[in-house]
Copies of this chain bind each other. A is one copy, B any other.
Amino acid sequence: MNEIFKALNDETRRRIIELLKDKDMNAGAIAEEFNISKPSISHHLDILKRADLITSEKKGQFVEYTLNTTILEEVLTYGY
């Protein structure tokens, strides 16, 4: 749970989550949405992944990221 709050404690990562609510996206497409270098976005994706908030799947040379809605539910029910 610690990892989840840590992951959510960043505007960029919260925006990534919002993007993935609409549709799955690959790392490059996500990076294009920000004025931040690709390595930095990759780092954010890693933190989201470690928190289990997203999952990734290699598709050819791309890596597609998907929101893990199950874990988001867990946060939303935190404390009940």
Binding site for B on A (CB under 8 A): 2, 5-6, 8-9, 11, 14, 17-18, 21, 72, 75-79
Contact = CB atoms under 8 A, between A and B. Distances in A.
Contacts of A76: 76-79
A22 to B, nearest CB: 12
Copies in the complex: 2
A11 B75 CA distance: 15
Nearest to A79: B72
18 contacts: A2-B11, A5-B5, A5-B8, A5-B9, A5-B14, A6-B9, A8-B8, A8-B9, A9-B9, A17-B79, A18-B79, A21-B79, A72-B79, A75-B78, A76-B76, A76-B77, A76-B78, A76-B79
